[in-house]
Amino acid sequence: MKNKDKIIRYCIYTILIVGLVACIAVLFPQVRYIIIESGERMFHMKTQFFQEWSITLLSYAMGGIFLFAIFGYCLLTVSGKTLVHKVRNEIRDCVSEIDWHSLIKPVLLMSGVYLLGILSIIRANFLYADDIRRSISGYRGWYNWSRYVSEFSSILIHGDSHMTDISPLPQLLAILVLAVSTVLLVYVLNNRKITIIGLLASVPIGLSPYMLGCLSYQFDAPYMALSVLSSIVPFLFLARKKAFAFCSIISLLVMCMTYQAASGIYLLVTLVLCFNDWNGKRKTNREVFLFLGRAVLAFCMAMIIFKLFLMKPINMGYSSTKMLPFPQLFSGMLTNLHTYANIINSDFGFIWKAIIAIIFCFFIVKSVHTSAQNKVISSLVVIILLCLLFFLSYGIFLALENPLFTPRALYGFGVLLAIINIYIVLNFNKVAKILTFALSWSFFVFAFSYGNALTDQIRYVNFRASILLHDLSTLYPDKDKNEITIQIENTIGFTPLVKNIGKRNPVIYRLVPQKTRQDEFFSILYLLEYFNYASFTTANLIFFDSYVDFSTLDLPIVLKTYYHTIRSDGKRVLVELNEGMGKEY
């Protein structure tokens, strides 16, 4: 037995020493250059961004040193072993205290609700943005955005490192993960009790318009859903301090490595739990602030570890991972918050906004009415809390220089609505319950409209693409020989069905891609390569440094139709799309 312990200890020593030496070696520029050069030869590619890769390797090396140091402390020191033993026991105790059997039926119920909600989206079979490139080339690419969990999970789900279209399996997995997330959120916020009304009130988690944008992705959907689940799981360990802190850090790192738009959800749940305990005097002020401090500290530690050791800097033009400079942090965050609020305001129709406003009022009324604190202080705190919740629902994106404002990045707002709904349906009047159900029902119904809109839009896109490609193939039957370069200007617009939905719910215009815009990489990819006309490199995209705007060259018209005008000098082709004069009813 002693010999076995010695062998294990020596193996640990060897692994730690070799790992530390390897990580320290990468700190030297010469070693990084050799690694990058070897990678170029191995994958038969030339790295154009040596400096970026060098910085990335440096951060990984620092992360490796940090990781090996932590492992060394936990495995080789007495205090470290004691800490590991305590955390393991606390996690085991928390898990054993949960009645997992009671969660099965609610998970199945919410899976059914979400499946029914996105049935029309699945039926549409719409290749959404990145889906086009991935379905054609098998490209993953989550690594570029530091989404390592997504990168490796995709290999497990697809059963291969080369991806193929296996829809609707990823979307089915996504709704299962969201169903689990919904049940756990109700379980945590409702004092470990799950009710039907609480589950129905939480529908915005999975069927808010912004989450529908995530569920539209045939490849990305499960990993976006996993980011929500990983933000909620730590609160299952609230009863044990060390287990909660440890699980918070690990879960938040998983969230960052799946989809960072969920970064505010953990803080939303934390603040609502703290407010509940303070407002009802369930805990002393000291206990509330200690819990808040632990949660915020765990969050900050996870973000620091991700930023320093795991995050790969990237700038794609439409968005980047660059943080706001410290002198501009406050003003920049206010600007981002203002943009965030304006986008939500313009996306949501009057009925949605009216219901949400009334629900927020009920949140304030219930908080003050049930408060064990001074009513004036309670009313002031709840208003500040609402502002903070809205602020944090956008997560760490608020601190970025160029954050993403597409629908898939805003699903934190849907989770915020679900949290407020769950809070007010617990032991409150029937009117509040009816309103929360009305909001959930309106999102549920909109999901069907959205799925049908995708079906109708892709029908129209394919029709326009067929006409355009027919004209191009007629004009340039030997396009490969002539080596033409294509640009597309303007859009085809939306179908009358989409426009009709947009009269009440303008968010539809941001959810439904038009698929034929020159400034959308995946649109030109769909138009050319998806229909076997040409490789996307045939298009002179604005993403390329060699981009020259053909509209400034005064090219002669070679064909003019109702739907488009084609200009060309034989080598350069400019397609000017017309939206048409469809009558709106």
Distance CA 252, CA 258 (A): 10
- Residue whose C-alpha is closest to residue 68's, from 8, 16, 12, 9: 16
* Number of structural domains in the chain: 3
Q: How far is CA 238 from the centre of its chain?
A: 26
Q: Which of the pair, 219 or 548, is modelled with greater confidence?
A: 219
Q: Which two tokens stand for residue 320?
A: 């980047």
Distance CA 484, CA 322 (A): 37
Residue 583 scores a pLDDT above 50:
no
**Paired residues of 567 in beta bridges:** 557, 574
Answer whether 540's CB lies under 8 Å from 485's CB. Answer: yes
Whether residue 331 sits in one domain with residue 208:
yes
Q: Tell me the residue ranges of DSSP E strands in 193-262.
A: none
Within the chain, what is the greatest distance between any pair of CA atoms? 87
Whether residue 295 sits in one domain with residue 337:
yes
* Predicted confidence (pLDDT) per residue in 269-310, tens digit: 999 999 999 998 888 899 999 999 999 999 999 998 888 877
Distance CA 144, CA 151 (A): 10
Average pLDDT over residues 500-526: 75
Q: Which residues contact 556 (CB under 8 A, 6 or more apart)?
A: 567, 568, 569
- Residue whose C-alpha is closest to residue 119's, from 454, 447, 414: 447
Whether residue 146 sits in one domain with residue 218:
yes
CA angle, residues 242, 423, 189, in degrees to nearest 5: 25
Laid out side by side, the sheet with 564-568 consists of: 485-489, 572-577, 564-568, 557-560
**What are the Cα distances from residue 217, in Å, to 169, 388, 501?**
11, 30, 21
Answer whether 255's CB lies under 8 Å from 148's CB. Answer: no
Whether residue 365 sits in one domain with residue 511:
no
* Predicted confidence (pLDDT) per residue in 418-435, tens digit: 999 999 998 777 888 899
**What are the Cα distances from residue 190, in Å, to 230, 313, 427, 480?**
19, 39, 10, 64
Hey, is 262 helix, strand or coil? Answer: helix
In a domain, 450, yes or no: no
Distance CA 320, CA 188 (A): 34
Q: What is the pTM of this model?
A: 0.87
Q: Which two tokens stand for residue 307?
A: 């930023």
**Paired residues of 574 in beta bridges:** 487, 567
AA identity, residue 561: T
Which runs of consecutive H residues, i.e. helices, occur in 125-240?
130-137, 148-158, 169-189, 196-201, 204-207, 209-215, 221-232
pLDDT at 542: 40
Whether residue 343 sits in one domain with residue 258:
yes
pLDDT at 50: 45
Q: Tell me the residue ranges of DSSP E strands in 3-76.
A: none
Hey, is 263 helix, strand or coil? Answer: coil
In a domain, 397, yes or no: yes
Whether residue 279 sits in one domain with residue 237:
yes
pLDDT at 18: 59
Whether residue 309 sits in one domain with residue 166:
yes
- Residue whose C-alpha is closest to residue 417's, from 433, 397, 439: 439
Distance CA 147, CA 326 (A): 26
**Which of 494-498, 511-515, 554-558 is least confident?**
511-515
Distance CA 494, CA 353 (A): 24
Average pLDDT over residues 40-66: 54
**Paired residues of 564 in beta bridges:** 577
Distance CA 97, CA 542 (A): 56
Distance CA 440, CA 246 (A): 34
Residue 318 scores a pLDDT above 70:
no
Query: Angle, to 10 degrees, between the axis of helix 430-475 and the axis of helix 101-117?
Result: 50
In a domain, 584, yes or no: no
In a domain, 365, yes or no: yes
Whether residue 246 sits in one domain with residue 197:
yes
Whether residue 96 sits in one domain with residue 66:
no
Q: Which two tokens stand for residue 477?
A: 């039957």
Residue 582 scores a pLDDT above 60:
no
In a domain, 445, yes or no: no
Hey, is 576 helix, strand or coil? Answer: strand
AA identity, residue 260: Q
Confidence of residue 538 (pLDDT cuts 50, 70, 90): very low
Place of tokens 């193929």: 164
Distance CA 214, CA 178 (A): 11
Out of 41, 76, 111, pick the residue that ends a domain.
76
Whether residue 156 sits in one domain with residue 107:
yes
In a domain, 81, yes or no: no
Out of 48, 76, 104, pick the residue that ends a domain.
76
pLDDT at 480: 65
In a domain, 309, yes or no: yes
Q: Which element (helix H / strand E) includes 486?
A: strand 485-489
Q: Which two tokens stand for residue 246?
A: 């440890």
Answer whether 274's CB lies under 8 Å from 292's CB. Answer: yes
Distance CA 209, CA 413 (A): 10
Q: Cα-flanking dihedrals φ and ψ of residue 564, to 5°?
A: -165, 160
Whether residue 288 sits in one domain with residue 166:
yes
**Which of 81-95, 179-193, 499-513 is least confident?**
81-95
Boundaries of domain holding 532:
455-577
Provide the 8-state DSSP code for 548: -
Q: What is the mean pLDDT of the chain?
A: 83
In a domain, 172, yes or no: yes
**Paired residues of 13 in beta bridges:** none
Q: Which residues contact 435 (CB under 8 A, 6 or more apart)?
A: 355, 358, 359, 362
Q: Which two tokens stand for residue 534?
A: 């040409």
pLDDT at 141: 78
pLDDT at 41: 52
Distance CA 155, CA 206 (A): 25
Q: Which two tokens stand for residue 299?
A: 């969050």
Distance CA 362, CA 375 (A): 15
Whether residue 342 sits in one domain with residue 311:
yes
Out of 30, 45, 76, pick the residue that ends a domain.
76
Residue 20 scores a pLDDT above 90:
no
